[in-house]
Structures are given as C-alpha cells and as structure tokens.
Amino acid sequence: AGVIFEEVRKRGLKVAVAGIPKTIDNDIPVVIDKSFGFDSAVEEAQRAINAAHVEAGSADNGIGLVKLMGRYSGFIAHYATLASRDVDCCLIPESPFYLEGEGGLFKYIEKRLKENGHMVIVVAEGAGQKLIAENMKEMGQDASGNALLLDVGLWLSQKINEHFKKNKTTINLKYIDPTYMIRAIPSNA
C-alpha cells in the first residue's frame, strides 16, 4: 500500500489507498460490511454450537460451552448466536459480565437449567479478561505483537463446575473450542 501510495503521489493522481488487514473477526472500524472470511467463520461456528446443543440436551443439567474467536470484538460469537436457535447466553468483550449475585451468570445458568434442563453458552475469546486477569500473571505477546489472552473458555468451565459442586448440584458441562476448525475451512462464496 505504501509503494502504491508513493507512485500515486508521484504521478499527481487523486487516488485513495486503503490497506485492509487480514481478519475474519469483522473488527475493522471502517465502512465495510464484512471482512474476508467472516461469513465462513460464522457458518462453521454454527456446527460447534449445534454440537454443543446436542450434547447439552442429552444430559440432565447439560451445559454446552462454546468458545469462539473474537479478541476485542464479539462479532463472530454475536452473529453465530443470532443465527442459532440454540444459544441461551452469549458473552462478548464489548459487554462486561459478572459471575456472582443477582444478574450474574451463575444465577442465569441456574434459572435456565431449572426451566429447560439444559443450556448453551457462547463466549468470545476476549470476553471476561478482566475477571480472570487477577488470577493469572501477565501472559506476554504473540509473534504478531498481540497480547496473549487468558483462556476464558477453560476458566469459565472451571468456575461453573466449582459453583455447582459447591451448591451440590450435578451438571454435565461440555466445553468446545473450534478455533482451528474455523480457521482451516475453505471460504464460502
């Protein structure tokens, strides 16, 4: 983009040059409808959500927990949730949540299990980072310079299991992380 810009400027042309980063998270804050691969990612996320629903529905107090991509924005989790008839709770980085007390996640899970006998939770990888950061030390950065995130899916599954064990309620939680399946599929049309 830089080389093209310099050539355009050298020729005195009125041309704008924009670089679009490679991301399937749809987290580019410019005027585009969808980033490349976003539709494919949402479509593949549906398979994981469907599997979580089948697993959760086949056990008393079954909980299907699906962690989807979305470091700083929950577009994949949000759109996959909207497209699904099976998600009871979607946690994204843009909306903080808490576990304990009225309005907390644990109370909602208890209510949903009582009403329906099972539930599905979708969580974007960047959700709840402030909740778990106090329990873990700094994780560093990846090769691209992005902050390494703590695994909210594993942490959340552990916290849910601990909560229900403490309350002497048996649950059957299945945790699904389809990240590499989603990244590895060919793009749809």
Instruction: Give the span between the Cα atoms of 137 and 44, in whole angstroms.
Output: 33
Rounded Cα distance, 152 and 128, in Å? 7
Residue ranges per domain, the chain? Answer: 37-184
Q: Is 37-184 CATH 3.90.1150.10?
A: no
Query: What pLDDT, in 10s, does the model give residues 82-121?
Result: 999 899 999 999 999 999 999 999 999 999 999 999 999 9
Q: What predicted TM-score, i.e. pTM, was given to this entire model?
A: 0.83
**Residue of 25, 27, 86, 88 marked active site:** 25
Residue range 122-143, pLDDT digits in tens: 999 999 988 887 655 555 667 7
The CA distance from 151 to 149, in Å, is 6
- The tokens describing 87, both together, are 């998600």
- The question of whether 33 is a catalytic residue gets the answer no
- The confidence score (pLDDT) of residue 154 equals 94
**pLDDT at residue 44 is higher than 90:** yes
CA distance 19 to 109: 43
Between the CA of residue 8 and those of 16, 20, 23, 52, 86, what are the distances in Å? Answer: 9, 18, 27, 52, 51
Residue 75: exposure state from Cβ atoms within 10 A (0-12, 13-18, ≥19): buried
